[in-house]
Structure 1
Amino acid sequence: MYYSDELVEEVRTRNDIVDVVSSYVRMKKKGSNYVGLCPFHSEKTGSFMVNPSMQIYKCFGCNKGGNVFSFMMEYEGLTFPEAVKVLAERAGIDLPETSGEDKAKAAERHRKKERLFEMNKEAATFFYYQLRKENGKAGLSYFKKRELSDETMKKFGLGFANVTSNDLCLYLKNKGYSDEEIVEAGLAVNSEKRGMSDKFWNRVMFPIQDLSNKVIGFGGRVLGDGEPKYLNSPDTPIFDKSRNLYGLNYARSAKKKHVILCEGYMDVISMHQAGFTEAVASLGTAFTSGQANLLKRYTENVILAYDSDEAGTKAALRAIGILRSVGLVGRILHLEPAKDPDEFIKRFGKDAFEERLENCEDSFIFEMRMTERDYDLKSPESKSRFRSALVEKLFLLKDNFDDVRPFIETAASKYGFDTDELVKSVAAYGNKVLSSPYYRREREYSGKKDAKKEDTRVLPYKLFFTLICDDPELYKKAKGYLSIGDFPQGLYEKAMLLIKEAIDEGKDPEPGRMISVLLSDESIPEEEASEINTLFTTRASDELHKFGGLSEDDIISGDIGEDPKEKGKILKELLIGIKSLRIEDLNATIKDHPENLNELIGEKHLLEKLQKAAF
């Protein structure tokens, strides 16, 4: 649904962000702002700030921020139009009725999704009965060898795709579905050589269900030596592998304080059969932040039950970081000498598995042990390099330095390091990395991830936007050195245009308003839209605060302060960084586009002028 910028702005201004957020978060006034515990990650000390004058919020812990619409979208899981509707109702604003064209489009999208749900249900039914027919003997034998009961097979709707490669297509066509619909559902492929053929054949089948128990996709394991061993449905309008978890429709009802995350379908099914109904698995892909956020709805504690081989260890290390980034606590379930949970339960039984669950390893201890494998701790030189690696790991561990202290103490105790000296090393390393407003000196805009896993290449733009919104007068000093072309096309270019238009019209570039305009812009790709809320709320001092550069009071009371020289220094560094990025991009094009040479020379001259300028 499209709402005009004027209407969106009216809804925003009629919903004071302090009032809205206060209905979800307990806050207290501190200076001119409000502070409380962040609703988006676990913390003991409040790092969540709401700025009533700018009508934005920002968490100095998880770095989430935005305006009142952003808050509702993040907290309630709403789309932008849904957030506008909820807040309009709250403010007593009547929204225009949906146009006939919009209603028709919405009805068509709903119809298409319902057809896909119905088709997947038909396919699941087809596979289910094929398993129990003569043609499905091989599939049934496979499940029986895996010691699955009839009750378990029925609960998970397990099935079989025949050796012939068009049975399901014919079945669905007889049910009235078109070739295009069957292909869109991910149940068939259409090629010039073979025509329409089933995507799944000669495989035991695992229907994938959403939280409403609707079938949204399938996983299939080949019988015999075929490749790939496991085949999964592609993403469709109703199925996104990165945002669903196998078995979560059952696990969310388990009365446990944790969820067990494992690698495969059979692991989940075996654990559920043994009574561990809190088990889930990712869907043929590496564990994602979307899946972690999904788990966060139901638990704060995740036990990683990955395979005990090297690949499983690497997957576990990666998953630990993802869990930690969304505020979840991860622990490691050790399965040796078994390879996976299914094998462990079969060999050692339910009670032994329960005992292992009760003695899971802390994820940080696990990470240290895995890091330790690469060093000879009997060698002083090697142990020194291990200590340096440990310092870096500790720095990346938590958003706030106080939260890192217990981990430092654990590491010091385990490896015989002096605690106070290790604290100083971590703080020194942090200040070294974060000493520049945008990490330019340390990272040289390499595009690598920073301590917050944020792409440092775009950080100068965000810091520039935030600085100009804080003090629009700085734009007068900057505009002689900048052009719209200095900003990446798309989101960043549009953000700069909004700032420029507001200042040129004699208005303040209000972050709250600009966030609304960008959130309502349907031309911005989804992968870029997720960055909108950080465009005008990214501050260099956020990072310095975490490792002692500034106190929280300094940040709350005005971030970098009111010293014109300090602001001018930061502005100049940011402009140099932005121009350097532009030159870097132009350099990369010269080979294929020599006509850009004159522009490149001009930009280099401008950079030299900028470096000599006083701000």
Structure 2
Amino acid sequence: MYYSEELLEEVRLKNDIVDVISGYVRLQKKGSSYFGLCPFHNEKSPSFSVSRDKQMYYCFGCGKGGNVFTFIMEYENYSFVEALKLLADRAGVELPELEYSREQKERENLRGTVLELNKLAAKYFYAQLKSERGKLAHTYLTDRELTEETITAFGLGYSNKYSDDLYKYLRTKGYSEEVIRQAGLVNVDERQGVYDKFWNRVMFPIMDVNNRVIGFGGRVMGDGKPKYLNSPETIVFDKSRNLYGLNRARTSRKPYFLVCEGYMDVISLHQAGFTNAVASLGTALTVGHASLIKRYVREVYLTYDSDEAGTKAALRAIPIMKEAGIAAKVIRMDPYKDPDEFIKALGAEAFEERIGKARNGFLFSLEMLEREYDMDSPEGKTAFLHEVARRLVGFEEELERNNYIEAAARQYHISFESLQNLVSKTAVNIGLAKPVTRPKSTMNREKQKEDGSLKSQKILLTWLVDDESLFSVISKYIRPQDFTTSLYREVAEILYGQYEQGSVNPAKIMSHFTEEEQHHEVASLFHTKIQELTTKEEQEKALKETIIRVKSQSIEAATKALEPTDMEGLQRLMKDKRALDDLRNLHISID
């Protein structure tokens, strides 16, 4: 839905950014800004800056920044509309009702009802666990060394031995049989009629990143089958796109996740202080899981079971993580089966040591590959190294590939040159030989040139926000159309418009953009690192050089895009070129 600019601005103005972020981050005032440890990456020295004047934040360490909407989107993993609603509620601003089609209304109503049902069911299961009926289940959990605090924190519960108890309870609350079935809480068949999906099991509520119950996992306490039973796919639950424990792990602020196989592994690790543990929900790790993980970290430690099935699961996960741009390492649990057993036997300190000894994912896959070859025979080792070379070809970046060639050569006692030659030969044989270096170097030069041009444009926008006195100087020579990317140009147009109206407000500019990535990029335009200029002469020289660069880049881009028959455009270009030539001989004053 479209919300008016006036409404967005009202919500933003009623949520002072320092007050909002102070609820998440400890801030200390230094000069005109506030600083704290960045909540989006691990750091020891505060580089996270919040400006009350600009109503913006920016981290000089990881580059994340924006206004109060951006912060809530990033920290809470909300969409723009969800962030708007949270801040509107905080400020007591009433938002207009969303206008849905009939189908959309029905779907949203069902989604809301299913979430209500799941919350109610979770409370019911928890109450059952704490009752006399749940004594056996409670003993099962405490025998597995879970504390009362942990049981409460994860909302663990019990579905009792009566197979229609939850159904009857939910019916007394006014919910229809059909909607309870759509929530995945009951099954229906001709022989038994309606009966609970879960009964006589320890219950694990599954929550999304916003702490809403979206499904359940149930574990038998004896030898029954299946050992674990999960909710079916529903309007709110997609097991391939959610991770158990993510609602808690995302706030740990560690730079990596510990990825496990089971609920109990996650809970045991959290109880032991490893609050960055997550697990897939009864399914192998998927591309959807990797995309979800990438929102929070760029590295994972796979803590899968040490049996054959766990090893295969790790080997499947490693390339999925690599494809998503996530580095994967593997922690071995030997001689124990899983993290839960390991923690109980050896404790947190020993597990921390295992993290330190984790194997690189690719090298681990080679170690597992060794088992398929007779490494004591020349033929076996040669065949093995040919397969290693084939896998090394998969690293597209030359530097990364050479680093792995070096590591593999060292591990298998052959020379770097021999393995590198084998990799090159393999690439040719399978049609993946790398391109000749000359065109690649030309592309690199073009990329560097492009990056340099954008840096100059970002510097100008930062100056325009930081020092309003510069607008009269810059606007003589640079128009919004001179910015060569659509985002920069749009930002410049809004900023120039604010100057003309006499009210520069960078935080308000960000409200024009609803995508999270756009927010970060726009924020970076107002926080470009600029070399410190101490004298007036240095400032004037830098300003002139930057204006000339931006104008030159604008003319170059316009020249490339000019149609041969566009005489008006040609005349405009000639005029701009003459003005640029004149500018080179002028002195720019910032008085």
- Same fold flag (TM > 0.5): yes
Change (3 A) 1:435 1:336: closer
Q: Cα deviation per residue 1:102-152 (whole Å; 9 max; x = unaligned)?
A: 533322221111000000001001100111111111111110110111110
Listed one character per residue, the Cα deviations across residues 456-496 of structure 1 (whole Å, up to 9, x for unaligned) are: xxxxxxxxxxxxxxxxxxxxxxxxxxxxxxxxxxxxxxxxx
Amino acid at match of 1:108: E
Q: Distance in 2 between matches of 1:409 and 1:215?
A: 48
Given candidates 170, 173, 180, the residue that maps to 2:171 is 173
1:148 matched to 2:146? The reply is yes
**1:291 match: secondary structure:** helix
Which residue number in structure 1 is paired with residue 397 of structure 2?
400
Query: Equivalents in 1 of 2:349, 2:432: separation in Å?
Result: 53
Q: State the 1:365 CA deviation.
A: 1.9
> Which secondary structure does the structure 2 equivalent of 1:284 belong to?
coil
Q: Distance in 1 between matches of 2:226 and 2:97?
A: 47
> Secondary structure of 1:434's partner?
coil
Q: Which one of the candidate residues 328, 331, 334 is aligned to 1:330?
A: 328
Q: 1:240–1:99: structure 2 CA closer, same or farther, 3 Å change rule?
A: closer
The letter for the 2-side match of 1:304 is L
Matches within 5 A, 1:483-502: none
Structure 2 equivalent of residue 374 of structure 1: 372
Q: Deviations over 1:129-187 (max 9, x none)?
A: 11111111111111011011111000000000111110011011111111111111111
In structure 2, distance between residues paired with 1:293 and 1:434: 30
The question of 1:192 aligning with 2:174 is answered no
Q: Distance in 1 between matches of 2:178 and 2:424?
A: 59
> Cα gap change, 1:119/1:388 in structure 2, threshold over 3 Å: closer, same or farther?
same
CA distance in 2, matches of 1:290, 1:404: 26
Partner of 1:383: 381
Show CA shifts across 1:576-598 (max 9, x none). xxxxxxxxxxxxxxxxxxxxxxx
Give runs of aligned pairs for residues 234-273 of structure 1, distance below 5 A. Answer: 234-273=232-271
Aligned to 2:155: 157
Give the counterpart of 1:282 among 271, 280, 283. 280
Question: Superposed, which structure 2 residues align to 1:42-57 within 5 Å?
Answer: none
Aligned AA for 1:279? A
Residue equivalent to 1:110: 108
Relative to structure 1, the CA distance from residue 78 to residue 167 in structure 2 (aligned partners, 3 Å threshold; closer, same or farther) is: closer
Q: Which residue matches 2:215? A: 217
Q: Distance in 1 between matches of 2:97 and 2:396?
A: 44
Q: How many Å apart are 1:427 and its aligned residue?
A: 2.4
1:530 is aligned to: none
Q: Which residue of 1 aligns with 2:543?
A: none
Q: d(CA) in 2 for partners of 1:78 and 1:149?
A: 32
Q: Following TM superposition, by how much is the alpha carbon of 1:435 offset from its aligned partner in structure 2, in angstroms?
A: 6.4
Determine helix, strand or coil for the equivalent of 1:226. coil
- The answer on 1:409 being equivalent to 2:406 is yes
Query: In structure 1, the residue corresponding to 2:393 is in which secondary structure?
Result: helix
Partner of residue 129, structure 2:
131
1:423 aligned to which of 420, 424, 443: 420
Shift of 1:98: 12
What is the alpha-carbon distance in structure 2 between the residues aligned to residue 107 and residue 194 of structure 1? Answer: 33
Secondary structure of the 2:430 match is: helix
Residue 159 of structure 2 aligns with an amino acid whose one-letter code is A
| Counterpart Cα distance in 1 of 2:429 and 2:143 | 58
Counterpart amino acid of 2:344? K
What is the Cα deviation at residue 404 of structure 1? 1.0
What is the letter of the counterpart of residue 434 of structure 1? G
Q: Secondary structure at the match of 2:117?
A: helix
Aligned to 1:204: 202
1:334 is matched by which residue type in structure 2?
R
For residues 309-363 of structure 1, give each alpha carbon's deviation from its aligned partner in whole angstroms, at most 9, with x where no partner exists. 1111111111111111101011111211111111111111111111111221111
The one-letter code of the counterpart of 1:429 is T
- In the TM superposition, what is the alpha-carbon distance from 1:431 to its structure 2 partner? 2.8
Distance 1:414 1:279 in 2: 30
What code does the residue aligned with 1:187 have?
A: L
SS of residue matched to 2:101:
helix
* TM-score of the aligned structures, taking structure 2 as reference length: 0.56
**Higher CA-based Rg:** 2
Q: State which drifts further: 399-408 or 366-375.
A: 399-408
Amino acid at match of 2:288: G
Pairing 1:552-571 to 2, within 5 Å after superposition: none
Q: Given residue 266 of structure 1, which amino acid in structure 2 is its aligned partner?
A: M
- 1:505-544 residue pairs with structure 2 within 5 A? none
For 2:262 and 2:235, how far apart are their aligned partners in 1? 24
Q: Distance in 2 between matches of 1:248 and 1:163?
A: 30
Distance in 2 between residues matched to 1:281 and 1:435, nearest whole Å: 36
Structure 2: give runs of 5+ residues left out of the alignment.
2-76, 82-95, 434-591
Q: Deviations over 1:546-592 (max 9, x none)?
A: xxxxxxxxxxxxxxxxxxxxxxxxxxxxxxxxxxxxxxxxxxxxxxx
Q: 2:351 aligns with which of 350, 353, 358?
A: 353
Relative to structure 1, is the Cα distance of residues 386 and 234 closer, same or farther in structure 2, using a 3 angstrom cutoff? same
Q: Measured at CA, do residues 260 and 99 of structure 1 come closer, stay the same or move farther in structure 2, by a change above 3 Å?
A: closer
Partner of 2:315: 317
Q: Name the % identity.
A: 50
Q: TM-score, normalised by structure 1?
A: 0.54
Task: Tell me by how many angstroms 1:366 deviates.
Answer: 0.9
Give the deviation of 1:376 after TM superposition. Answer: 1.9
Alpha-carbon distance in 1 for matches of 2:291, 2:347: 32
Q: Any idea what SS the aligned residue of 2:163 has?
A: coil
Amino acid at match of 2:162: T
* Secondary structure at 1:378 match in 2: coil
The whole-number CA distance in structure 1 between the counterparts of 2:101 and 2:386 is: 60
1:321 and 1:99 map into 2 onto residues whose CA distance is 42
Residue 297 of structure 1: how far off its partner (Å): 0.9
Distance 1:226 1:341 in 2: 23
CA, structure 1 residues 358+418, in 2 after alignment: closer, same or farther (shift >3 Å)? closer
Cα separation, 1, equivalents of 2:402 and 2:154: 45
- Measure, in 2, the Cα distance between the counterparts of 1:176 and 1:215: 20
Tell me the secondary structure at the aligned position of residue 261 of structure 1. strand
Q: Which AA in structure 2 matches 1:320? A: I
* Aligned residue pair count: 347
Match of 2:528 in 1: none
Distance in 2 separating the partners of 1:201 and 1:182: 15
Q: What CA distance in whole angstroms lies between the structure 1 residues aligned with 2:319 and 2:277? A: 20
Q: Does 1:434 align with 2:422?
A: no
Cα distance, 1:388–1:251 mapped onto 2, change above 3 Å: same
SS of aligned partner of 2:209? coil
Change (3 A) 1:272 1:98: closer
The one-letter amino acid of 2:270's match is: H
Which one-letter code corresponds to 2:400 in the other structure?
A: D
Paired letter, 2:429: K
Query: Post-superposition shift, 1:418?
Result: 2.9
Q: C-alpha distance in 1, partners of 2:139/2:152?
A: 15
Q: Distance in 1 between matches of 2:121 and 2:206?
A: 12
Aligned equivalents of 2:396 and 2:282: distance in 1? 31
**Counterpart code for 1:115:** T
